[in-house]
């Protein structure tokens, strides 16, 4: 397996987990190096707290799930991990010379992958099953459409950025008068960023999380109320759950939004989080006057130091539930399935907060398929990833008993209790 030619210099690369575990030791030229390498790569050893690949403050071994262009996922070691194993074995005196690492033919470069998201294992049995679990999921993805494939890529990229505590995640929502959408009535935001990034302190804590929530109301438009088309919006404006609402003139309203976005983008990449961004982006551009330069509608495949990106939680949830449909779920329905309690939706501040909560819930969890199985065990078929929800899971107003029993075949009855003549 190892070659005499050096491994090419790349910024980031990966090796298949199976190649490293099962084949690397077999190709070592010196037999005395085999047992030390096998011992270090044993399933039980890999999940131990004192394993040299364990990162400080992390509850397990961090590996990666690489997503290939054919949508298949593979469990991977990073090139840096393999190089560190080589260094550590020699530094500890377990090998006389640094062992050769797998050659360039086995190296998977970042350009070969659509996404590479982290996954942590702290249990040997789960690690043993990891490859089989991925193979089972890959069978469900053989006929996946490009729509669902792209959604899954975005899902894993979001996980990577959240794990790396990258940039500022800024969720935004507008409310406009339902009879004239050019009249903005509210704006809400919720953001999270990290001070210190992924640097680990002596206590094992990574980066300090900083959060902020806000709700603005347009003074000149307070007489415009909603509720005709969306009854749940009645009175929502006055019930911001996460702070004090601010009433501003339309001019100051616009300035505040512009300043918020500008400051949010000063500390690194800016990830704009929406639940279905089309209308909110239109409001930002046409009614507030926010002009984005170099706006990216697809998250980067690895953490960056700058740039502005758009993340749609409706698309994230579609990836999680395995849906190829273009009919996206509403925020309330998504939060219900994610078990996020909501109150007073259609308040712009609340909607922004719950949107960020939904993004956090998904991006901070396991890879897409593992997370789906944890949330809804055995709810997908063996041939496709789509989750089969029950009617009462889809609709909060669904009766507890509705659908449990068939509708009785009663004869038609007139108001006076007499049978319909046609039934006699």
Q: What are phi and psi of 378, to 5 degrees?
A: 55, 35
Note down pLDDT in tens along the chain; length 424 residues.
444 334 444 457 999 999 999 999 999 999 999 999 999 999 999 999 999 999 998 999 999 999 999 889 999 999 999 999 999 999 999 999 999 999 888 999 989 999 999 999 999 999 999 999 999 889 888 888 899 999 999 999 999 999 999 899 999 999 999 999 999 999 999 999 998 754 444 334 457 899 999 999 999 999 999 988 888 889 899 999 999 999 999 999 999 999 999 999 988 899 999 999 999 999 999 999 999 888 999 999 888 888 999 999 999 999 999 999 999 999 999 999 999 999 999 999 999 999 999 999 999 999 999 999 999 998 988 788 899 998 888 876 664 444 444 433 433 333 333 334 333 3
Give yes or no: residues 106 and 236 share one domain: no
The predicted pLDDT at position 392 comes to 83
Residue 3 falls within a domain, yes or no?
no
Give yes or no: residues 123 and 202 share one domain: no
Q: Dihedral of the CA atoms 383, 385, 391, 393 (nearest 10)?
A: 150
The predicted pLDDT at position 243 comes to 96
Residue 310 falls within a domain, yes or no?
yes
Give yes or no: residues 237 and 282 share one domain: yes
The predicted pLDDT at position 107 comes to 96
Give yes or no: residues 180 and 299 share one domain: yes
- Return the closest-CA partner of residue 151 out of 323, 268, 18, 270: 323
Report how far residue 423's alpha carbon sits from residue 269's, in angstroms, rounded to the nearest whole number: 72
- Return the closest-CA partner of residue 319 out of 130, 132, 76, 67: 67
Neighbours of 16 (CB within 10 A): 19
Angle at the Cα of 78 from the Cα atoms of 77 and 82, rounded to 5 degrees: 80
Residue 155 falls within a domain, yes or no?
no
Give yes or no: residues 320 and 186 share one domain: yes
The predicted pLDDT at position 364 comes to 96
The predicted pLDDT at position 399 comes to 47
Strand partners, 174: 187
Residue 153 falls within a domain, yes or no?
no
Q: What are phi and psi of 106, to 5 degrees?
A: -100, -10
Strand partners, 206: 200
Domain boundary among 107, 142, 177: 142
Q: Dihedral of the CA atoms 379, 365, 304, 317 (nearest 10)?
A: 40
Name the token pair of 121: 């294992």
The predicted pLDDT at position 391 comes to 86
Give yes or no: residues 138 and 180 share one domain: no
Give yes or no: residues 210 and 337 share one domain: yes
Residue 415 falls within a domain, yes or no?
no
Give yes or no: residues 386 and 245 share one domain: yes
Give yes or no: residues 357 and 237 share one domain: yes
Residue 5 falls within a domain, yes or no?
no
Name the token pair of 67: 């997503």
Helices (H), 109-236: 124-140, 146-163
CA 22 to chain centre: 31
Name the token pair of 201: 């302190």
Residue 116 falls within a domain, yes or no?
yes
Helix 146-163, helix 368-375: angle, nearest 10:
90
Domain that holds residue 77: 13-142
pTM to 2 decimals?
Answer: 0.84
Q: What are phi and psi of 94, to 5 degrees?
A: -85, -20
Q: Contact 86/99 with Cβ under 8 angstroms?
A: yes
Strands, E assignment, 145-284: 168-177, 180-200, 206-218, 246-248, 270-274
Domain boundary among 142, 170, 188: 142
Residue 417 falls within a domain, yes or no?
no
Rg (CA), the chain: 27
Supply the DSSP symbol for 95: S
Q: What is the CATH number of the domain that holds 272?
A: 3.30.420.10
Give yes or no: residues 183 and 317 share one domain: yes
Give yes or no: residues 243 and 212 share one domain: yes
In the chain, the number of structural domains is 2
Report how far residue 346's alpha carbon sits from residue 323's, in angstroms, rounded to the nearest whole number: 25
* CA-to-CA separations, 159 to 162, 201, 378, in angstroms, rounded: 5, 22, 23
Give yes or no: residues 311 and 189 share one domain: yes
């Amino acid at each position: 397996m190892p070659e005499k030619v050096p491994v090419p210099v790349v910024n980031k690369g990966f090796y298949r987990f199976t190649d490293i575990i099962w084949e690397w030791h077999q190709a070592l030229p010196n037999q005395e190096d085999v047992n030390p390498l096998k011992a270090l790569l044993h399933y039980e050893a890999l999940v131990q707290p004192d394993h040299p690949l364990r990162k400080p403050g992390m509850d397990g071994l961090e590996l990666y799930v690489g997503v290939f262009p054919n949508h298949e996922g593979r469990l991977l070691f990073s090139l840096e991990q393999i190089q560190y194993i080589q260094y550590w074995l020699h530094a500890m005196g377990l090998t006389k010379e640094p062992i050769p690492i797998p050659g360039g033919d086995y190296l998977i470069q970042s350009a070969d992958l659509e996404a590479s998201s982290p996954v942590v294992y702290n249990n040997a049995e789960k690690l043993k099953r990891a490859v089989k679990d991925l193979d089972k999921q890959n069978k469900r993805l053989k006929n996946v459409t490009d729509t669902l494939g792209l959604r899954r890529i975005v899902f894993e990229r979001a996980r990577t950025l959240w794990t790396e505590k990258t940039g500022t995640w800024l969720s935004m929502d507008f409310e406009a008068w339902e009879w004239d959408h050019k009249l903005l009535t509210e704006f809400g935001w919720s953001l999270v960023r990290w001070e210190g990034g992924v640097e680990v302190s002596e206590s094992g804590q990574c980066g300090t999380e900083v959060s902020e929530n806000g709700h603005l109301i347009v003074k000149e438009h307070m007489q415009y109320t909603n509720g005709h088309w969306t009854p749940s919006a009645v009175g929502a404006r006055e019930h911001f759950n996460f702070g004090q609402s601010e009433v501003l003139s339309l001019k100051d309203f616009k300035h505040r939004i512009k300043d918020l976005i500008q400051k949010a983008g000063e500390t690194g990449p800016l990830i704009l989080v929406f639940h279905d961004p089309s209308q909110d982006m239109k409001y930002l551009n046409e009614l507030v006057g926010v002009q984005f330069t170099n706006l990216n509608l697809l998250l980067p495949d690895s953490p960056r130091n700058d740039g502005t990106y758009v993340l749609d939680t409706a698309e994230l949830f579609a990836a999680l539930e395995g849906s190829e449909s273009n009919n996206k779920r509403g925020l309330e329905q998504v939060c219900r399935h994610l078990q996020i309690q909501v109150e007073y939706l259609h308040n712009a501040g609340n909607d922004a907060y719950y949107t960020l909560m939904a993004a956090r819930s998904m991006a901070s969890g396991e890879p897409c398929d593992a997370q789906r199985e944890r949330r809804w065990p055995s709810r997908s078929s063996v041939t496709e990833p789509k989750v089969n929800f029950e009617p009462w899971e889809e609709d909060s107003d669904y009766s507890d008993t509705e659908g449990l029993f068939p509708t009785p075949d009663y004869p038609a009855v007139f108001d006076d209790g007499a049978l319909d003549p046609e039934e006699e």
